[in-house]
A = this chain, B = another copy of it.
Amino acid sequence: MFGVYVTMAREFHVAVAGATGAVGTQMVQCLEERNFPVKTLRPLASERSLGKSVTYRGQEIPVQVMDEKSFEGIDIALFSAGGGISLKYGPIAAAAGAVVVDNSSAFRMEPDIPLVVPEVNPQDIALYKNRGIIANPNCSTIQMVVVLKPIHDAARIKRVVVSTYQAVSGTGQKAVTELADQVRALLSGADPKISVYPYRIAFNVFPHIDVFLENGYTKEEMKMVLETKKIMGDDTIRVSATTARVPVFYGHSEAVNIETEKKITPEEVRALLAQAPGVKVVDDPANRLYPMPLDAAGQDLTLVGRIREDASIANGIDLWIVADNIRKGAATNAVQIAEILAAQYL
């Protein structure tokens, strides 16, 4: 007998906490773009966003003010509302039965909470069962590890020296507005207003992202050091990071110097990365092709280029990595985690 088998794929009740922020807005858009099996979408935010709505599949969905009941009936809760909100409401959402994918740094280094980049350590998603929470890594770390992983598997990375060129959108929508306003003011001879950052970012650079720690590094720099080890599942990888803010709206760039245990040539790195999931090799200097924020913004791939042999050490590789910090660096990575949860675990 012939039959048509229709898979009744499960659909999910999804909450987005911090739905009106730069990353939250992108999370909602990613759910739609990637055709995530959403049964209902519940956008949550603070009282400040009361009266706002988010657009999802052509519908305007009013934002609800987050409270202790917000997560009842929710299967998956994507959080991007800051560490304080995650610390308070993450466990509440988990207790209500949701799996939390949290974009803040609140839980990232907790030993029993997985920190996941789907291209690197998808197997760690299973550990969501420990506390009902999966941490989404820092934007600068995500784009670096998707490139490092295939190299590490092939040649074992001993040490990484990374310098970042980070876009203002990493700070939030208010920083995007501030950069545009400052540039406008300066070009018309007016004094630029400074409120989000301690200094003017327009036509300036500062080596200061997140707070300074006792050891002289910023928290952003130490995220790159510590999260890299955890995601790669290898505590022996040593990282030194300098993170700097540049007057770019979207797209973080990174100059990455790698020392490997085994010799690996630029050609081998290029071939490996050409096969790597989520990575696009843009590396044809003769034709002026290299990654730039201009090209990385608005899409989900991590671009890598300027792959060359660093002759200053025996086994050295230099490369240049750029990705959209709001998409792959935050929202897309979280939705990718949710996709694996939905397909394999829930």
Residues of A within 8 A of B (CB): 159-161, 163, 165, 180, 183-184, 187, 198-200, 203-208, 212, 215-218, 225, 238-240, 242, 244, 246-249, 251, 253, 255, 257, 266, 285-286, 288, 290-294, 305-313, 316, 318, 320, 322
Q: A204 and B292: CB pair below 8 A? A: yes
Main secondary structure of the interface of A (DSSP, over half): mixed
B286–A212 contact, CB under 8 A? yes
How far, in Å, is A15 (CB) from chain B's closest CB?
33
Q: B165, B212, B215: which contacts A246 (Cβ < 8 A)? A: B165
Contacts of A293 in B (CB 8 A): 203-205
Please list 24 pairs of residues, one from A and one from B, whose beta carbons are closer than 8 Å in the complex, sorted by A's number.
Answer: A159-B313, A163-B163, A163-B242, A165-B205, A165-B244, A183-B187, A200-B294, A203-B248, A203-B249, A204-B292, A204-B294, A205-B248, A207-B306, A208-B288, A212-B285, A215-B308, A215-B311, A217-B308, A225-B312, A240-B313, A242-B306, A244-B320, A247-B248, A255-B255
Stoichiometry (number of copies): 2
B309 & A215 in contact (Cβ 8 Å cutoff): yes
Residues of B within 8 A of A251 (CB): 205
Question: Once the chains bind, are B255 and A207 in contact (CB under 8 Å)?
Answer: yes
Closest Cβ of chain B: how far from A219's Cβ, in Å? 12
Question: What residues of chain B lie closer than 8 Å to A217, measured between beta carbons?
Answer: 308, 318
Whether the Cβ atoms of A253 and B312 lie closer than 8 Å is no
Known: A292-B204, A306-B216. A257 touches B285 (CB 8 A): no
Residues of B with C-beta under 8 A to A247:
203, 246-248
Q: Is the CB of B159 within 8 A of A318?
A: no
Tell me the complex Cα distance, A238–B187, Å. Answer: 42
Choice from B160, B294, B309, B313 contacting A238 with Cβ under 8 Å: B313
Further 19 A-B residue pairs, CB within 8 A, beyond A165-B244, A165-B246, A242-B320: A161-B312, A163-B163, A165-B165, A180-B187, A200-B294, A203-B294, A204-B248, A206-B290, A207-B253, A207-B290, A207-B306, A208-B290, A212-B285, A215-B309, A216-B266, A216-B306, A240-B316, A240-B318, A255-B255
Q: Which of A159, A183, A216, A313 has the most CB of B within 10 A?
A: A216
Select from chain B the residue with minimum beta-carbon distance to A248.
B203
B161–A257 contact, CB under 8 A? yes
Chain B residues near A163 (CB-CB < 8 A)? 163, 242, 255
Residue of A184, A203, A212, A244 ringed by the most chain B CB atoms within 10 A: A203
On whether A292 and B206 interact (CB within 8 A), knowing A187-B184, A307-B216, the answer reads yes
